Amino acid sequence: MPETTRIGVIDHGSGNLHSACRALAVAGAEVVLSADIDELERTDALVLPGVGALGACMAGLRAMGGDDLVAGWVERGRPLLGICVGHQMLFEDGEERGEAVSCLGVLPGSVTMLPAERLPHMGWNRVAPCPGSRLFTGVESERFYFVHSYGVLASSPHSGITTCRHEDAEFVAATELGPVCSTQFHPEKSGAAGARLLRNWLALLDEF
């Protein structure tokens, strides 16, 4: 990864912005936190963060024109990383607190409440990386930090899908589909394992 690689973090008003920015900077990126579409378009890769309610995050993203930014970005094959609710926003739709939410449709699947007695799913958990994963190189057996009650259930095996289990609920913990990657967990809160994962992602950027 060249030293000049600039990572645009989309500021749509709800996200783990500062901790994510710090973690990316420590991993070796030049970080641009912005809600300005033109400024974000001039970066080399995008990060879509998000915490809280899926509907509120989608509303904030649409209000700044970020939905069109992400759609065009992905259509051009440029690299993007979604984190937590940002990961969920990349799927087709969701249902949260009785509200139907239309999402970005970059990835197939729907966000639903996890069928588990203990919610939120909060704390450290291991994942099952997809075959040939490069995002999880060197951290295949490590734990990552989750905090969520909703997710995309892993109903069937799919290439590029890393899974995790909470009680009887198996859900999508991460995706690696071409230039689009995402994590339901917080890499910026996952210690050394999360830092390695971010470095792995940055190392992939030259391919796109």
pLDDT 10s digits, 118-128 = 999 999 999 99
Question: What is the model's pTM?
Answer: 0.95
Instruction: Please identify which of the residues 12, 87, 166, 186 carries the catalytic annotation.
Output: 186
What's the pLDDT score for residue 1? 43
pLDDT for 129-162, tens place per residue? 999 999 999 999 999 999 999 999 997 656 899 9
Q: In this structure, is the dihedral angle defined by the CA atoms of residues 35, 52, 54 and 153, taken in order, positive or negative?
A: positive
Q: Is 28 left (phi over 0), alpha (psi -120 to 50) or beta?
A: left
Instruction: Please identify which of the residues 21, 57, 84, 164 carries the catalytic annotation.
Output: 84
- Active site (annotated) includes residue 84: yes
Q: Give which of 110, 146, 108, 140 is closest to 125, Cα–Cα.
A: 146
- Active site (annotated) includes residue 96: no
Domain annotation for the chain: domains and CATH numbers = 6-207 (3.40.50.880)
Q: Token pair of 133, please?
A: 């994963």
What's the pLDDT score for residue 2? 46
Residues of the chain with pLDDT under 70: 1-4, 15-16, 156-158
